[in-house]
Amino acid sequence: MATMTYGEAGKQALAEEMRRDPLVWAVGEDLGRGGVFGQYKGLVEEFGPLRISDAPISEAAILGAAVGAAMTGTRPVVEMRFADFALCAVDELINQAAKARFMFGGQARVPLVVREPMGMWRSSAAQHSQSLEGWYTHIPGLVVVCPSTPADNKGLLKAAIRSDDPVVYFEHKNMWALEGEVPDGDVTVPFGVARTAREGRDLTIVSWSATVHAATKAAETLAGEGIEAEVIDLRTLWPWDREAVFASVAKTGRLMVAHEAVQVGGFGAEVAATVAEHCFKDLKAPVKRLGSPRVPIAYAPPLEDMLRVTPEKIAEAARAVVSES
């Protein structure tokens, strides 16, 4: 095991895959100078500008070229800089990449990874702060990944690069500097397998990305009050690990889903509805969702903070779930 940051783990995953497979390459804006967050720093020196490719400021052109390159045999890793900017290229991803294998009867594949840094980050305001992962889970043909730890950022990115399906890969902007242990060697993390971040018996909290850490802190606070919450990190939203969530709810009898994305139409609703349909006999209390309000994200730090799903808000909602049973 080695200790490294979330950003360094992602960079190491890409470098290892590029050394392993000459068909892997990266394209996007600012890659030659290391990327907006330094997640590509030093790679152009090792692999050259043809494999760490700087692109003009046109997300549609970047992703459109990458989709064509994937369909003709390479494995592009596309950097969108911010999840918000990927909306300029959403037609290429949803109407082309996601549907190609189906529409060509399996004769074409699109082994493509689209990296979309997500989430609130130091007053970046409404056009640079969104968490849009739930949008992509609605689209057949896409894999959706949301790693929360350095180890998962390495293992899941390696798995994404090797996937023959297009993967939308969300890295939270507030976690680039997060440190953690990362296994040595060629270790991948499979899609659709959740991680139990904390064991508990009284309440299941399901989350992903940076909110996993807020949920874990909330669980520590609740433990001091005699409430033992189990925290499930989904890691991938599609496919998602229904069996792990069902097993946890069967044990605790209560479920809360917490995420930074807007609560209305968020992926938490899918988790909540699925558990309500399949585990209703196990539930001791109504399922609870906790997400951001349906408002644009403010620039002003005090207003931005009002929209955050914090450990305090998670703990408060958890207490309400437990008290209802």
Query: Among all residues, which ones are annotated catalytic?
Result: 128
Sequence-distant contacts of 35-42: CB under 8 A, at least 24 apart: 35/79, 35/81, 36/81, 36/82, 36/117, 37/7, 37/117, 37/173, 37/176, 38/7, 38/176, 39/7, 39/10, 39/11, 39/171, 39/176, 40/11, 40/14, 40/79, 41/11, 42/11
The helix (H) or strand (E) run that includes residue 136 is: helix 133-137
Asked if residue 96 lies in contact with residue 63, where contact means CB atoms within 8 angstroms, the answer is: no
Length of the chain: 325
* Residue 15 dihedral angles phi and psi, to the nearest 5°: -60, -45
State CA 5 to chain mean position distance.
16
